[in-house]
Amino acid sequence: MPELPEMETYREFLNHNILHKTITNVEINREKSINTGVQTFIEAVKGANITFVKRRAKHLIFELSSGKFLLLHLMLGGLMFLGTTKNSPDRTKQIILSFGELQLNFIGLRLGYLHLLSQVELDEKLSDLGPEPFELQRDVFLDRLERKKGALKPLLVDQSFIAGIGNCYSDEICFQARLHPLRKASDLKEEERNNLYDSIKPVLARAVQFGGYMDFPMYEGDEKTGRYNENTYVYEREGEKCPRCGGTIERVEHSYKSFYCPSCQMKV
Ligand SMILES: [Zn+2]
């Protein structure tokens, strides 16, 4: 599932390519992906333009010139492709927003959605999310961590604890902090708590630099998206060598699967 770096990569790209262009056509091929009737959705979106694309957690928010918002969550398997009818991938598109020749395709929206919302509805929908990692202050993080008892892995992927982190980056952050993903938050020493905080932003910022891990290009000729795949530390690298100590990376299944190095991510 795309996490903060993947959605941030999309956000930057879309902000450069679709802002202030009129939405000339709206095609809905899967009604379950939207939250209104098809006609209502089309009438609200067609003819408007997108004034800004923001990100909150794993969501993108398309701000429309009409004052409404489109809230996107790609969930598992969802992706976007910006192109034309000539170069768009041969995949089923659940939703297509056209800007003249240019088309923004939403693909693989099985659990994912694009919801039309007012400001009030948007705020309500996002109200349970925890703080954004890049805006998170050390004292706030340490204070929130102190009140938690469970293991690090489920905690880091808990969107109400910290927003935007999922399976991949929680493992990468634990690796960077030299902490076993099943360590209990309540058992961490002060230095370890600080190491955890100090690992969050660098891991996510590095992943944004590499264009996240999405393995599908965002446009024709896209060589940026997905380069994090070749640059992960431990995620999905079971049996490979640890880039820090040379130990063998293992995978552990708890409530989530986690990848870690048993040699340099100490359990106790
Ligand atoms: Zn190691």
Q: Is 265 within the bounds of a domain?
A: no
Cα(233) to centroid of ligand 1, in Å?
Answer: 10
For the chain of 268 residues, list the mean pLDDT of each consecutive stretch of 10: 97 96 98 98 98 98 98 96 95 97 96 98 98 98 96 97 98 98 96 98 98 94 94 98 97 93 89
Residue that has been written with the tokens 């370890």 in this structure: 192
Token pair of 160, please? Answer: 């109400």
CATH number at 144 reads: 1.10.8.50
How many Å apart are CA 249 and CA 234, to the nearest integer?
7
Tell how far the Cα of 104 is from the centroid of ligand 1, in angstroms. Answer: 42
162 shares its domain with 247? yes
Domain total of the chain: 2
Element (H, E) at 61: strand 59-64
Name the maximum alpha-carbon separation found in the chain: 59
75 and 108 inside one domain: yes
Whether 202 maps to a domain, the answer reads yes
Structural contact between residues 59 and 88, judged by C-beta atoms closer than 8 angstroms = no
In a domain, 256, yes or no: yes
Phi, psi of 139 (to 5 degrees): -65, -35
Expressed in angstroms and rounded, the spacing between residue 266 Cα and the centre of ligand 1 is: 9
pLDDT value at residue 266: 81
Q: Does any domain span residue 180?
A: yes
248 CA from centroid of ligand 1 (Å): 7
CATH of the domain at 46: 3.20.190.10
Could you tell me the distance, in angstroms and rounded to a whole number, from the CA of residue 247 to the centre of ligand 1?
A: 5
How many A from CA of 58 to the centre of ligand 1? 29
Same domain, 104 and 9: yes
Measuring CA to CA, which residue among 130, 131, 169 is closest to residue 4? 169
Establish if 266 belongs to a structural domain: no
The arrangement of strands across the sheet holding 102-107 comes to 25-28, 93-99, 102-107, 79-83
How many Å lie between the centroid of ligand 1 and the Cα of residue 173?
A: 13
Q: Are residues 141 and 255 in the same domain?
A: yes
> Does 58 lie in the same domain as 156?
no
Contact call for residues 15 and 28 (beta carbons, < 8 A): no
Boundary residue ending a domain (92, 125, 158)? 125
- 37 and 84 belong to one structural domain: yes
Q: Which domain holds residue 149?
A: 133-260
